[in-house]
Structure 1
Amino acid sequence: MTDEFLTSTQTLRKAIPLMIKHKVPTTPVNYALWYSYTSDQNPILTQAIDQSLAQYGHCPPSLSDSLYRTHLAQHPASEQGQISHSLQAIMDELCHTMTGSQKETQAFHHALSRTCQRLSQKAEQGVNVHEANDLVQELLDESRHMHQSSTLLNQQLENANQEIENLRKALKDSLKCANEDPLTGLLNRRAFQQDLSSCIQHHTPFSLVLLDIDNFKTFNDDFGHLMGDKVLCSVARHLQVWCEQGMQAYRYGGEEFVIILPGTNLHQSRDKAEKLRKTLSGIAVQDKQSGNTVSSITASFGIAEHTGKENGLAVLARADKYLLQAKSLGRNRVLPVL
């Protein structure tokens, strides 16, 4: 076994317990990400994961995908090959161990069979029959018990081999997650749902800010859909700049956006949303070809804090209720009022 092989397997053995501790799904992307984190190959990546663990208590799925694309997927082929080799090394070692255990178990089966046969013959000779029969019966009972145990072990080893084969296939096929909205560059609804579920699962305190661009249909009707797209992209850019300290913005659908604010209560998230509302109201978007300018962009906001005793849909529904109220009361406001 080479030094490189030993280093690879030792590193991954450190990474796997961390993945289990933080309930990280065992996908090829996550294996590669946490392998790099454990080996400290990329200090920037390590720092990003450390910050996420400090803020969320875990690493949200969308952040894992983003870190992989930024720090690993774009690396030279040689570095990706090193990661692939490391994963392959541990899989080969596990396969070797499973194969050896299966052979040993089969040999034990044969040995038990031969021993039972010899003991049976010994008992039939009629020498110390009573004592021999007791011994034979005891060993036969034990052999039957061992046979059952070894049969179960064989089944477990076969299952483990199938799991490893599935992982091999997953590594070969690779994994590409479609979490990004193609128009705005923000994470999409799918990513939001994954991250929201992850926050609930890890008991991360958080609030949601749900916002909807006011009178968006008017922009499309008056200036065309291309101008509407420019407005969406401009709002998205401002959301990306505004997000800090672990906050994450998503395009939820149409002209609606949602932001997860970890470790933030209702009062804090409302204050932040009010600042964002004022920032968005100062946006001006111009179409250079037509010369048209949109300078009356506003948004309505609904805020909700996760109580710790509800699912993600419940907290989202509460934020949506306040958003609808903000719309009905004249738009361009943040609710609830505290």
Structure 2
Amino acid sequence: MKFAENSNQSAEYLRQAIPLMVKYNIPPNPLNYALWYTYVSNKLPSLNTQMDQTLETYGTCPTLLGEQMFREHVISDEVAESEQAQNQLIALTQNLQEHAHTAAEHTSSFGVVLEDSLAELSEPVNNGAELESIITRLAENTASISQTTNEFQEKIAAAQAEIASLKEELQRTRQDARVDALTGLFNRRVFDAELEQIAGSKSDKVTTLVMIDIDHFKQFNDNYGHLMGDKVLQYFGKVLKETCKEPALPVRYGGEEFAVLMIGQSAKEAAELAEGLRSKIQAIRIKQKKSGKVISSITASFGISQRTENESAEQTIERADKALYRAKENGRNRVEIAD
């Protein structure tokens, strides 16, 4: 997106954007300045519509959604141009590789021709010694050129592979910072940022937190091994993804602990969702490949807290943790709601 406002108009947009960012507890970073500058300018109706829906749902603009809107609306042209340039670079590399390969083939063929000619001319002729010396040098030079071209081709191919590898690594790095590799869920870093932002907003939206812990998971790992434990965690993540739709945010909190941040749903509604999760988890059946034994002892405990007015993120987590601990004390495989 191109910005062409004069200084007075730009200053006016900024004066409008900053109070809105304060009102909705938006972190004051360059990305958000650009996003809200664009929002108040009303240049992109699609952005304004999406932002208004987000504010209605969450009472703020969560960091993840803000970054997504920034990429989709504010810098979509630049991202497309960047990807196009990269694709052109890769295409150029492939083109160079093809040309280098062709040149190598031609040079190699030329060397064969000269070698054949040398064999024919090696028979005694009037000025044989001198002519043979000239032809030999030509053959040697041709072989050298062919070798050099082949080496160039190999370097170009290696450069192409490195470009592709770097692109994949960049994509992985962007994901790794926020996503748990094993389960595919967002990680605690994302959870902390989202809950802190929501807790700091002045929204009257109901916010409920569900803390989840797999029962006796250490014992399970000891009995069946970490590979089986990883399978359980992966399945756990899959169930959470399928069950907890937006605006709910399921995350891997750490180890065998998970959490779900729910916007616009009460503790009672969260308990109903947790009961459904508990039943699905209890029904997990994993078979060991070697023995064929079916494992059926996987359960989870749940603690729920509905955020109260002026409560900090830490206090909301602490109450959910206490409810989770109570679920453990009362026999596990159950849902408890904080007082």
Shorter-chain TM-score above 0.5: yes
Residues 110-157 of structure 1: per-residue CA shift (max 9 Å, x gap): xxxxxxxxxxxxxxxxxxxxxxxxxxxxxxxxxxxxxxxxxxxxxxxx
2:188 maps to what in 1? 189
Quote the sequence identity (%). 40
Alignment of 1:177-216 (within 5 A): 178-204=177-203, 205-216=206-217
- The answer as to 2:66 corresponding to 1:64 is yes
Q: Is the 8 A contact 2:23 2:201 kept in 1?
A: no
Distance 1:241 1:9 in 2: 49
Q: Does 1:225 align with 2:226?
A: yes
In 2, the alpha carbon distance for the partners of 1:68 and 1:224 equals 43
Q: After superposition, where does 1:15-30 map in structure 2 within 5 Å?
A: 16-17=17-18, 18-30=20-32
Query: Does the CA contact (< 8 Å) of 2:304 and 2:320 recur in 1?
Result: yes
**Structure 2 CA distance for partners of 1:293 and 1:29, relative to 1, 3 Å:** farther
Provide Cα deviations, 1:36-63, integer angstroms capped at 9, x if missing partner.
66667594x6665433211211111233
Deviation of residue 275 (structure 1)? 1.8
Task: Work out whether residues 234 and 285 of structure 1, in 8 Å CA contact, stay in contact via their aligned partners in 2.
Answer: no
Distance 1:294 1:70, change over 3 A: farther
Look up the match of 1:298.
Answer: 299
Match of 2:53 in 1: 51
Note closer, same or farther for the CA distance 1:229–1:51 as it changes in structure 2 (3 Å cut). Answer: farther
SS at match of 2:190: helix
CA contact (8 A) 1:72 1:80 kept: no
**Distance in 2 of aligned mates of 1:247 and 1:315:** 16
Take 2:327 and 2:300, find their aligned partners in 1: how far apart are those partners?
9
1:312–1:35 CA distance, 2 compared to 1 (3 A): same
State how far apart, in whole Å, the 2-side matches of 1:239 and 1:9 are.
Answer: 49
Question: Which secondary structure state, in structure 2, belongs to the residue aligned with residue 6 of structure 1?
Answer: coil
Number of residue pairs matched by the alignment = 242
Deviation string, structure 1 residues 273-306 (Cα, Å, up to 9, x no partner): 1122112222334566886654432110011111
Name the SS for the 1:257 alignment partner.
strand
Contact 2:54 2:61 in 1 (8 A): yes
2:157 is matched with: none
Report Cα offsets for 1:138-192 as digits up to 9, x if no partner. xxxxxxxxxxxxxxxxxxxxxxxxxxxxxxxxxxxxx969222222221211211
Aligned to 2:156: none
Superposition RMSD in Å:
3.7
Shift of 1:223: 2.4
Query: What letter is aligned with 1:24?
Result: I
Please report the TM-score for the alignment, with normalisation by the length of structure 1.
0.59
AA matched with 2:265: T
The change in CA–CA distance for 1:191 and 1:245 in structure 2 (over 3 A counts) is closer
Q: CA deviation at 1:251?
A: 1.2
Q: Is the 8 A contact 1:73 1:80 kept in 2?
A: no
- Residues 300 and 11 of structure 1: is their aligned pair in 2 closer, same or farther, counting only changes over 3 Å? farther
Tell me the distance in 1 between the aligned counterparts of 2:77 and 2:233.
32
The structure-2 alpha-carbon separation of the partners of 1:275 and 1:36, relative to structure 1 and needing over 3 Å to count, comes to farther
Gap change, CA 1:55 and 1:71, over 3 Å in 2: same
Greater Cα shift, 183-192 or 292-301: 292-301
Contact 2:323/2:336 (CA < 8 Å) preserved in 1?
yes
Tell me the SS of whatever aligns to 2:5: helix
Alpha-carbon distance in structure 2 between the residues aligned to 1:284 and 1:70: 41
Q: CA deviation at 1:74?
A: 8.2
What secondary structure is seen at the aligned counterpart in 2 of 1:5? Answer: coil
Name the residue aligned to 1:266.
267
Note the C-alpha offset of 1:263.
2.2
> Could you tell me whether the CA contact under 8 Å between 2:327 and 2:334 is conserved in 1?
yes
Aligned equivalent of 1:328 = 329
Q: Deviations over 1:235-277 (max 9, x none)?
A: 1121112113411111111111111111222222222211221
1:140-289 alignment runs, 5 A limit: 178-204=177-203, 205-286=206-287
Contact 2:25-2:197 at 8 Å conserved across structures: no
SS at match of 2:179: coil
Q: Measure, in 2, the Cα distance between the counterparts of 1:176 and 1:305.
A: 32
User: Who is 1:160 aligned against?
Assistant: none
Shift of 1:32: 5.0
Distance (whole Å) between structure 2 residues aligned to residue 187 and residue 202 of structure 1: 22
